[in-house]
Structure 1
């Protein structure tokens, strides 16, 4: 389907993690197709890595990249941010305002609605990326966040979910989404399907991600201790940074894993993959995590939990997934990798080939562009 040049502005809060990667990949791919693209993001998060990524994006984002402070939690400052984004959107005159995550989605849809009140007709698109959907309906924070989602649903023209899980969860916790609704899986570029070879001194297992409770790293440490107590046994590398870093280091010491677990800090995923012979994703909640897609593309064995959209990635191999918060089952799955490496490699090869056919960057970009211009 040929789509004429669009003026597309993406709005997100924190330029970190899979959400940021998704926005960057999508913006670049849309620009390559001749669309005029701009980005709006928080200026206080992301660090040097985000700054470097934005500098590369500036070369293709003809509508520019604008960053200013945005708070993580709701507060009075949100009104000033929303007004600022509204003024910027009025100047950029976008055909599409695409919000990502709870905060970015709220800002974009508020700005898009105000533009419509002034006579413009921007398409208000929204991708939740998990966000407020991770909160329980009865928790105080969940009550507020989900109420906001419900209010903004009628001010959304196009809903784009990265997984069937995301669509199902939104429908259950918020409301059946109105307007155009599409499930568009995250996609990878062809060069990401080059296998990664582990370093000679690689650990048995590697975790890659934010060091916070939602990622279940404490469960991984407990599972590692169950495989062999004390200083002898399988090893692991915990790659990433986050608020719970010190707590997790202390937990490793308490479990007697000090000599078996390393915390080298954050680094790019494919660089981190070389540090371990099997990727472990022990998350308590996810949407459609890029690290699982990237590990599958790199043809690495993966042990993961049965949460969010991960079963959609594993497809026919979804029965290998383990429950979250279950160190015994996680240890058993990790033990099977150690005991039958040939089977693990065969599973990794089959999963990589399956993912290559279902999760492409080109397919993701085409589907999102088509959703923008679908008649309601």
Structure 2
């Protein structure tokens, strides 16, 4: 704990223990515990599989307020009432200083407690990770819920400037404080990855979903093959609800012989399966997979969506338009032809940029400063003990 940090009781509430949201919470909770705060997790029990089980079991001994898993479904359903009742009861019993909700469903459960009496009023923090804001079906309903729940929110904690602006445009001004702390990564991420001897030319790593632009990538590969000059291979690493849909697109494209659908695996292991990483997303907040690929020194093609420009900073002109197979195909061909020395110089510069600007410690410093600001509204003395925002 920093010398001027007051020890806090912190409960994180979130749904699926998968993807970037899960990494964000695990990094944040782990660092908070290392600083001497008492931390607990309330998380979905339906998703994540064995990988999530292992990660939660590993961090559990450090979570002094416990790790509780409850069945949380993505879409609204009647059973949400019973899950909310259990979460409310646990928060009543734990009497935390901070309840930090992540994602739409975590935000629903945690912030609804603000409409009910509690023996100790916690500061309620909300980090939207983008899901409901990018949702097409039921978008109006989700935004109506967000406006209602904003009334019980003390601090809106964003992971990118993009998401802060997106929230403001959809929800409008409110009474909650606002803080932006961009996602950070740690020393274990900065390991240079060398492609395996039989690596494909391209690799995609992430959720298997159309919103991630995987269909655009498949079509782009078909365009390249149709040109007759290059015949690159692609490895698609990951899992997701639309795997079968994407497998059908692969078959229809005629690219089955050049595309391998690999199962999920750790990012650094996955990066070794291809010479060039491709992140063709249609929507993002501030994607960890881009940070991780850059940290590993891998050449990267990425789309200009969400907070990707914030990651690339002075190199943002290397980003391309999303959802355009022809543009993506042209970028892939250009990457195949790029001089190795030039390519590595760009990779090294990006790696250094990320190392200087996207560290876990800095992320947590900023989030903790936001917590103390939120607490100061009801506990003015907390402001005197709060560290200054970096």
Deviation at 1:135, TM superposition (A): 2.9
- Does the 8 A contact of 1:37 with 1:63 survive in 2? yes
Residue in structure 2 matched with residue 365 of structure 1 by the alignment: 364
| Deviation larger for 354-363 or 316-325 | 316-325
Distance 1:141 1:238 in 2: 30
Say which SS state the counterpart of residue 204 (structure 1) adopts.
Answer: strand
Residue in structure 1 matched with residue 345 of structure 2 by the alignment: 346
Deviation at 1:304, TM superposition (A): 0.8
Deviation at 1:247, TM superposition (A): 2.3
Deviation at 1:33, TM superposition (A): 0.1
Matches within 5 A, 1:203-218: 203-218=200-215
Residue in structure 2 matched with residue 158 of structure 1 by the alignment: 155
Distance 1:134 1:118 in 2: 33
Distance 1:350 1:188 in 2: 17
Q: Which runs of 5+ in 2 are unaligned?
A: 378-390
Residue in structure 2 matched with residue 130 of structure 1 by the alignment: 130
Residue in structure 2 matched with residue 183 of structure 1 by the alignment: 180
Deviation at 1:249, TM superposition (A): 2.0
Distance 1:119 1:65 in 2: 22
Alpha-carbon RMSD across the aligned residues, in angstroms, is: 1.5
Say which SS state the counterpart of residue 275 (structure 2) adopts.
Answer: coil
2:138 counterpart of 1:141: yes
**TM-score, structure 1 normalization:** 0.95
Deviation at 1:256, TM superposition (A): 2.1
Q: Please list the CA deviations of residues 105-124 of structure 1 after superposition, one character each: whole Å capped at 9, or x if unmatched.
A: 1111112442xx33412010
| Deviation larger for 243-252 or 58-67 | 243-252
Q: Quick one: which of 51, 58, 61 aligns to 1:59?
A: 61
Distance 1:178 1:190 in 2: 37
2:82 counterpart of 1:80: yes
| Deviation larger for 224-233 or 16-25 | 224-233
Residue in structure 1 matched with residue 232 of structure 2 by the alignment: 234
- Does the 8 A contact of 2:304 with 2:319 survive in 1? yes
Structure 1 residues 265 and 177: CA distance shift in structure 2, 3 A = farther
Q: Please list the CA deviations of residues 65-92 of structure 1 after superposition, one character each: whole Å capped at 9, or x if unmatched.
A: 0011111111222222111100011111
Residue in structure 2 matched with residue 245 of structure 1 by the alignment: 243
Q: Please list the CA deviations of residues 144-192 of structure 1 after superposition, one character each: whole Å capped at 9, or x if unmatched.
A: 0000000011210111101111000000011224322111100001231
- Does the 8 A contact of 1:322 with 1:329 survive in 2? yes
Deviation at 1:347, TM superposition (A): 1.4
Aligned residues between the structures: 371
Distance 2:135 2:73 in 1: 18
Residue in structure 1 matched with residue 164 of structure 2 by the alignment: 167
Deviation at 1:102, TM superposition (A): 0.3
Deviation at 1:15, TM superposition (A): 0.8
**TM-score, structure 2 normalization:** 0.92
2:115 counterpart of 1:118: no
Matches within 5 A, 1:311-350: 311-340=309-338, 341-350=340-349
Q: Which runs of 5+ in 1 are unaligned?
A: none
Distance 2:296 2:71 in 1: 36
Say which SS state the counterpart of residue 152 (structure 2) adopts.
Answer: coil
